[in-house]
Every structure is written in structure tokens, then in C-alpha cells.
Amino acid sequence: MNHIVRIGITALVALVPTVVPAQRAADAEAECYKLVGHVSARECLGRHEAESATLVEKAERDLLVSLRQESKDPGDASRAVEALDLSARQYKLYRKSQCDLVASLALGGNSATDRRLLCQIDLDKRRVADLTRELHHGI
């Protein structure tokens, strides 16, 4: 491989983390990164991630309760509950694989865990918004 091509490829690989937009939870990032020390910031991100995961569980539970209360037909309710259960399981798989990807874009750097946490928070917020919209939209 010629020298210029090798330099170009090296430069491109070095840019990957900045070219690929990371999923970020801007409010958590702003709050946690103003703390003194990376350990404090990481603990703060961990708290935000735990809170966001709890909010997802609550939104799924609220939708489930509403489905059971509002449905006129037990068959319809049963199908909707099954669909919600499948959606919840698939979301967890997607969240893990997507955030593993985002963390890997740190290319071995020490920001991988932060990137994973920020991704999880961001995706959880989107999930809660989606479930809340459906709760108020169609039951």
C-alpha cells in the first residue's frame, strides 16, 4: 500500500469518533461533566442511567395497566399485551447492541463507559416518549 493512501486511511480512522455523531443525553452530560473529577461524573451518569431505566419500566407498566383497563375485548387486550412484552424485550436488545456500538467508537479510550451510559440515557428517554405518546394516543 503506498504511503499516501496509508496516511489517508490512518487520518480517516482517527476521525471516526468525531465524524459519527454519538448519542448523547445533553442534560445528563451537562450536569455530570461540570462536576469535579471523572469518578464523580461517571457516578452521576450512572445515577441518570438508573433513573432513565426506571422511567422506561414505569412507562411500560403504565401502558400495560391502561391496556388492561381500557380494552373492551379480552382478545384485543391479550394481543396488545403480547406486543408490548415483545417490544420491551426487543428494545432491551436494541439498547444493548446500539450502546455497545457507541461505546466501541471510543476505540479503546477511557470514554467508552461514559459513551455507553449517555447512549442508554438517550435511548431510554426516547422509549419513554414513544410509550407515553402511545398511551395518550390510542387506548
In a domain? residue 121: yes
- How many domains does the chain contain in total? 1
Give the range with max mean pLDDT: 33-37, 72-76, 132-136.
132-136
In a domain? residue 14: no
In a domain? residue 112: yes
Mean pLDDT, the chain, integer: 83
User: pTM, whole model, 2 decimals?
Assistant: 0.77
Q: How far apart are CA 37 and CA 49, in angstroms?
A: 19
* pLDDT of amino acid 16: 39
* pLDDT of amino acid 122: 97
- What are the tens digits of pLDDT across the range 13-41? 343 333 334 467 778 888 898 888 888 99
* pLDDT of amino acid 6: 46
Residue 89: give its domain's CATH number: 1.20.1270
In a domain? residue 9: no
- Locate 33 and state its grid cell: 461533566
CA nearest 57: which of 124, 122, 119? 124
